Amino acid sequence: MSESDTDNRDGAGTPRPDPGTGDGTRAVRAGLPEPVKHEPTLPGPVFAAHFHLPGEPTGPYTYGRDENPTWTHLERAIGELEAPGQDDVETLVFASGMAAISSVLFSQLRAGDVAVLPDDGYQALPLVRTQLEAYGIEVRTAPTGGDAQLDVLDGAGLLWIETPSNPGLDVCDVRRLADAAHARGALVAVDNTLATPLGQRPLDLGADFSVASGTKQLTGHGDVLLGYVAGRDAEAMAAVRRWRKIVGAIPGPMEAWLAHRSIATLQLRVDRQNATALKVAEALRARPEITGLRYPGLPDDPSHKIASQQMRRYGCVVSFTLPTRARADRFLDALRLVEGATSFGGVRSTAERRGRWGGDAVPEGFVRLSVGAEDPEDLVADLLRALEESAG
């Protein structure tokens, strides 16, 4: 038997003990299995629809819609970031953020239940609302800001929080809302997409589920769609897992592996992008044509007080409004370092006039800017030049 045959018998290997507590250390090592001589540090993607399985069909790996060793590594990585050192937290990866969101809502709610959603959250939530209502679930909504969801919690079975909200960047007090929801017997889920696990740990703030799109800053290169759910309640997570199995909303092994590789640079990207976002916000707010500038990291932002209590980093998204739709379009056209694109969190800056989609309650000139990893001086110069050029 060769050396490598004796190792890794459970397919994914045992996770390594946490050797450090810094975010950078944790990110580069997250989810790596015990090293195996002559094997890569991060094992390559396992392409398998089914696994060799003679005799009694026991796990961990039987059929590719249920489990895959590449997911196992990625799930451990995300779990180590969402809930460091907490072995009771389970993480499940999905084909997209929406697959993860739907898995929680549709696995936890039944006809007659009440769900509370934000009215200023991700743009697909209204579609989800329609589907929940079609299944006989009552949906109430309230704004994220001012913890307004508190007012509609009575009788709720599940509270869905998105903080900071996308695209308005309002923040709510997760601990306060979670306590109020739990006192009424409701489960609490937080969409952690914008913050990433390095910016905010919803499970530590009292949430039952931390749910996110890994498509954004978690993976950061704009080349992978991914989602995940992390939770501590074994029964609730078993229902989420069952939902993944019956809907089949699973990530491909290649996507899962790319995501895991990308997480190694999460702390570098997040620190760079978020620091630049603050510089960009400071530069833009000095401009007379800009109103409603929002960035939770700005000390005088309406979100800052609560954000500074529950977040460790404030994200890479800055939003603001230009006087007219035409001005916003000219501004976006004039940018050279900022690509016109939806989505956010990538290493290359992107921006869009959010009103072009309809749906979000935002002014016509509202721009959502996702700050990338370019040099801050270059980016600020490009933005200020585009503002000048678009004035005429």
Residues making contact with ligand PLP (CB under 6 A): 96-98, 101, 122, 162, 166, 191, 193-194, 213, 215-216, 225, 227
Helix, strand or coil, per DSSP, at residue 109: coil
For β-strands 291-294 and 227-231, DSSP reports them as unpaired
Residue 124 three-state SS: coil
Residue with nearest beta carbon to ligand PLP:
97
- Two tokens, residue 251: 């990530």
Q: Quick one: 216 or 269, whose CB is closer to ligand PLP?
A: 216
Q: Angle 365-369-374 (CA atoms, 0-180°, nearest 5)? A: 145
Question: Which of 98, 106, 157 minimizes the C-alpha distance to 132?
Answer: 106
Instruction: Show the DSSP H helices in 47-200 as ranges.
Output: 69-82, 97-108, 125-134, 174-183
Q: What is the DSSP letter of 50?
A: B
Provide the minimum distance between the beta carbon of 85 and ligand PLP in the complex, in angstroms, as a whole number.
27
Nearer to ligand PLP, 149 or 215 (CB): 215
CB nearer to ligand PLP: pick between 162 and 374: 162
- Residue 132, classified by CB atoms within 10 Å of its CB into exposed (0-12), middle (13-18) or buried (19+), is buried
Distance (Å, whole) CA 3 – CA 157: 52
CB of 104 to ligand PLP, least distance (A): 12
What's the min distance (Å) between Cβ of 100 and ligand PLP?
Answer: 8
Minimum distance between the CB of residue 14 and ligand PLP, rounded to whole angstroms?
Answer: 30
Encoded tokens for 242? 């069952």
Distance of alpha carbon 370 from alpha carbon 319, whole angstroms: 9
CA distance 171 to 89: 25
Residue 343 C-beta: closest distance to ligand PLP, Å = 6
When the beta carbons of 157 and 346 are compared against ligand PLP, the nearer one is 346
Report the length, in residues, of the chain.
Answer: 392
Q: Which is nearer to ligand PLP, 162 or 301 (CB)?
A: 162
Q: How far is the CB of 19 from ligand PLP (least distance, A)?
A: 31
Question: DSSP assignment of 292-351, as one string?
Answer: EEE-TTSTTSTTHHHHHHH-SS--SEEEEE-SSHHHHHHHHHH-SSSEE-S----SS-EE
Amino acid code (one letter) for 57: P
User: Is 98 or 373 the residue whose CB approaches ligand PLP more closely?
Assistant: 98
Tell the smallest beta-carbon distance from residue 251 to ligand PLP (Å): 10
Shortest distance (Å) from residue 367 CB to ligand PLP:
16
CA proximity to 373, closest of 294, 274, 307:
274
Q: Which residue lies nearer to ligand PLP by CB, 98 or 189?
A: 98
C-beta closer to ligand PLP: residue 101 or 379 = 101
Least CB distance from residue 383 to ligand PLP, whole Å?
A: 22
Using the minimum distance from each CB to ligand PLP, give the nearer residue, 72 or 215. 215
